[in-house]
Amino acid sequence: MGQVRRLAMISLHTSPLDQPGTGDAGGMNVYVIELAKRLAAQGIEIDIFTRATSSALEPVVSAVDGVAVHHVHAGPFEGLTKAELPGQLCVFAREVLRAEASRPVGYYDAVHSHYWLSGQVGALARDRWGVPLVHSMHTMAKVKNAALADGDTPEPSARIIGEEQVVEAADMLIANTDLEARQLVGLYDADPARVEVVHPGVDLGLFRPLDRAATRAELGLPADADVLLFAGRIQPLKGPDVLLRAVAVLLERSPGLRGRLVVPVVGGPSGSGLDRPESLAALAGELGLDDVVRFVPPVSQADLARWYAAATAVAVPSYNESFGLVAAEAQATGTPVVAAAVGGLTTVVRDRHSGLLVDGHDAEDWASALGRIVDDPGLRVRLEAGALEQARQFSWEATAARTLEVYERARLAMRESVG
């Protein structure tokens, strides 16, 4: 366990208690709470600081034994976009420092910040408390801007500058994949000695194979349907429109599929998708897919596991993913994944073993990949077995163990720099 006994986690812009798949809540929320749970199981006390988004929230909520979520009042509770949050950094940081000041001296042994906004606060806490800062980027502006989806908004220069400052300030940086580690070094001039790769995990007890026929019956899906699922926040970055356009091509090629094809879209508008919350439904209508596509509001993790297990394949057509938690979770249920060959998805999905990777976002190419799984039962069976094998590489217990090693490295690095 090293010498980390008490940890301050900072997740400013989104709470680990929020429902993934809506607003700004997504894979990072899952990451923060699942990592915290596993660290708490090792005897570490964790305080997670996040911005309060409702006056009804309790100031402190116990997530599980050893994990307390602090709702920090900083700015208006509602109506504040992520782009406006930098204006609340000073207030948020003041309240975090005030919370620590009420504790005995030397209360926290380390700070772990998530996303660049949290990293700004973490850097201040590091210097004030004299403890190491470990930072996880989760996404990076320079990477996102290099692969924008049509209609998406570039990340502002203020974020890029903020990320560069956090990279410089952190004692250790955690990258989700080898690719992200190279991007930190190449794009942000991070010291390679201060970058460690720690894969996120999957709750293998929750995301597991289920009886497909029974699960489909529970979800109101036909037992013999070909189910092509999208799960995640509905925004250009995630590319749900790519799936719909591919399905339109697939039906044009094989009109007989229409009677048994179901395309559930599980999630809610987020990010730039909030500007046009009905655009995906409108696209489905324009493409003549109203009888095929089902829009499902964000669901709990347990229900999401059922949707994955019920699917023939899960599509992850993102333009960028630092890891791709949806792909990892889907594979853990034994469902093959068709994913864009970008970012962390090339690590999570093993091409032609646990799923299929598609170069680019062309509807014709995506239709061909999806069609291979739909039309070839033998391939589908092989990919299902490969998906389970691939998913076993990722567990939150392993993530927590590796993260603890990074905390200890950060403590050593800080002592050396001070010395």
Q: What is the DSSP string of 270-312?
A: -GGGGGSTTHHHHHHHHTT-TTTEEEE----HHHHHHHHHH-S
What average pLDDT is seen over the chain? 93
- CA nearest neighbour of 179 among 163, 161, 199: 199
Alpha-carbon span 168 to 101, nearest angstrom: 26
pLDDT tens digits, 126-184: 999 999 999 999 999 999 999 888 878 899 999 999 999 999 999 999 999 999 999 99
The binding site for Mg(2+) consists of 308, 311, 335
Q: Would you state the pLDDT for residue 27?
A: 81
Choose between 419 and 404: higher pLDDT: 404
Which own/partner pairs from 157-162 qualify as long-range (CB within 8 Å, at least 24 positions apart)? 158/86, 159/116, 162/86, 162/116, 162/117, 162/119, 162/120
Q: What percent of the chain has pLDDT over 70?
A: 95
What's the gap between Cα 326 and its chain centre? 8
Q: Tell me the average pLDDT across 302-319.
A: 97
Average pLDDT over residues 245-249: 98
Q: Which residues of 266-294 are buried (b: 16+ CB within 10 A; e: fewer)?
A: bbbbbbebeeeeebbbebbeebebeebbb
Residue 291 confidence (pLDDT): 96
The model's pLDDT over 336-384, given as tens digits with 9 standing for 90+, comes to 999 999 999 999 999 999 999 999 999 999 999 999 999 999 999 999 9
pLDDT in tens, 383-407: 999 999 999 999 999 999 999 999 9
Provide mean pLDDT across the span 243-249.
98
Residues of each annotated binding site for 1D-myo-inositol 3-phosphate? 13, 24-29, 82, 115, 139, 159
What local confidence, expressed as pLDDT, does residue 67 receive?
A: 98
pLDDT surpasses 80 at 276: no
Report the candidate in 277, 316, 315, 320 with the shortest Cα–Cα distance to residue 297: 277
Tokens in use for 43? 């005897």
Confidence class for position 278, pLDDT limits 50, 70, 90: confident
Rounded to two decimals, the pTM is: 0.91
Q: pLDDT at position 23, please? A: 64
pLDDT at 25: 67
Which region among 15-19, 317-321, 391-395 has the lowest average model confidence (pLDDT)?
A: 15-19
Q: Check pLDDT > 80 for residue 417.
A: no
Q: Which domains does the chain have, with CATH numbers?
A: 6-201+396-413 (3.40.50.2000), 212-392 (3.40.50.2000)
Tokens of 182: 């190279």
Q: Considering only residues 275 and 345, tell me which one the structure prediction assigns the higher pLDDT.
A: 345
Q: What is the pLDDT of residues 253-269, one digit of tens each?
A: 999 999 999 999 999 87
Task: Detail the residues annotated as belonging to a binding site for UDP-N-acetyl-alpha-D-glucosamine.
Answer: 19-20, 27, 233, 238, 299, 321, 329
pLDDT band at 272 (very low <50, low <70, confident <90, very high): very low
Q: How confident is the model at residue 83 (pLDDT cuts 50, 70, 90)?
A: confident
Please provide the distance, in angstroms rounded to a whole number, between the alpha carbons at the two ends of the chain: 24
- Residues contributing to the annotated binding site: 13, 19-20, 24-29, 82, 115, 139, 159, 233, 238, 299, 308, 311, 321, 329, 335
pLDDT bin (cut points 50, 70, 90) of residue 413 is confident
Q: What is the per-residue DSSP string for 120-154?
A: HHHHHHHHHHT--EEEE-SS-HHHHHTTPPTTPPP
The predicted structure's pLDDT at residue 275: 43
Q: Which pLDDT value is given to residue 1?
A: 40
